[in-house]
Chain A
Amino acid sequence: MTNSTAASEPERTGAISWDSRLRRIMTLHLPLAMFVFVLLFPFYWMTLTTFKPNEELYDYKQYNPFLVHSPTLQNVKKLLFDTDYPQWLTTTMGVAFAATALSLFASVLAAYAIQRLRFKGSEWVGLGIYLAYLVPPSILFIPLAAVVVQFGLYDSPLALILTYPTFLVPFCTWLLIGYFKSIPYELEECAMIDGATRLQILRKVTLPLAVPGLISAGIFAFTLSWNEFIYALAFIQSSEKKTVPVAVLTQLVQGDDYQWGALMAGALLGSIPVALLYSFFVDYYVSSLTGAVKE
Chain B
Amino acid sequence: MANLALEGATWIRRDNWLVRLFDYKPFLIVMCLTPALGLLLVFLTYPLGLGLWLAFTDAKIGRAGQFVGLENFISLFKDKIFWLSVFNTLVYTFVATIGKFLLGLWLALLLNDNVRFKSLIRAIVLIPWIVPTVLSAMAFWWIYDPQFSIISYTLKDVMHVRDSNIDFLGTPWAARFSLIVANIWRGIPFVAISLLAGLQTISPSLYEAAMLDGATSWQRFRFITVPMLMPVLAVVLTFSVLFTFSDFQLVYAITRGGPSNATHLMATLAFQRGIPGGQLGEGAAIGVAMIPFLIAATIVTYLGLTRSKWQQGSDND
Contact = CB atoms under 8 A, between A and B. Distances in A.
B113 to A, nearest CB: 6
B194 A293 contact: yes
B4 A286 contact: no
Interface in B77-117: 103, 106-107, 110-111, 113, 115-117
B39 A245 contact: no
Given A42-B140, A65-B150, A134 B242 contact: yes
Nearest to B248: A138
B174 to A, nearest CB: 18
A227 B236 contact: no
Contact of A36 (B54, B125, B157): B125
A275 B130 contact: yes
Interface residues of B, number: 107
Contact of A191 (B4, B106, B242, B290): B4
A45 to B, nearest CB: 6
B280 to A, nearest CB: 6
The majority secondary structure among interface residues of chain A is helix
B70 interface: no
Interface string B180-208: 00000100111001101110010000000
Contacts of B145: 260
A110 B171 CA distance: 50
B267 interface: yes
Contact of B5 (A49, A194, A282): A194
Contacts of B122: 286
A107 interface: yes
Given A195-B11, A274-B132, A286-B126, A142 B283 contact: yes
Interface residues of A, number: 103
Contacts, number: 316
Contact of B43 (A165, A279, A286): A165
A207 interface: no
15 contacts: A32-B115, A35-B107, A109-B32, A113-B29, A119-B25, A134-B242, A136-B246, A143-B284, A145-B274, A169-B36, A169-B40, A198-B22, A229-B132, A230-B248, A268-B135
Interface of B: 1, 4-5, 8-9, 11, 13, 19, 22-23, 25-26, 28-29, 31-33, 35-40, 42-44, 46-48, 50-51, 54, 59, 61-62, 103, 106-107, 110-111, 113, 115-117, 121-128, 130-136, 138-140, 142-143, 145, 148, 150, 153, 157, 185, 188-190, 193-194, 196-198, 201, 232, 235-236, 242-243, 245-249, 252-253, 267, 270-271, 274-275, 280, 283-284, 287-288, 290-291, 294, 298, 301, 317
Interface of A: 1-2, 5, 28-29, 31-32, 35-36, 38-40, 42-43, 45-46, 49, 57-58, 60, 65-66, 102, 105-107, 109-110, 112-113, 117, 119, 125, 129, 131-132, 134-147, 149, 162-163, 165-166, 169-170, 173, 181, 187, 190-191, 193-200, 205, 223, 226-227, 229-230, 233-234, 244-246, 248-249, 260, 263-264, 266-268, 270-271, 274-275, 278-279, 282, 285-286, 289-291, 293-294
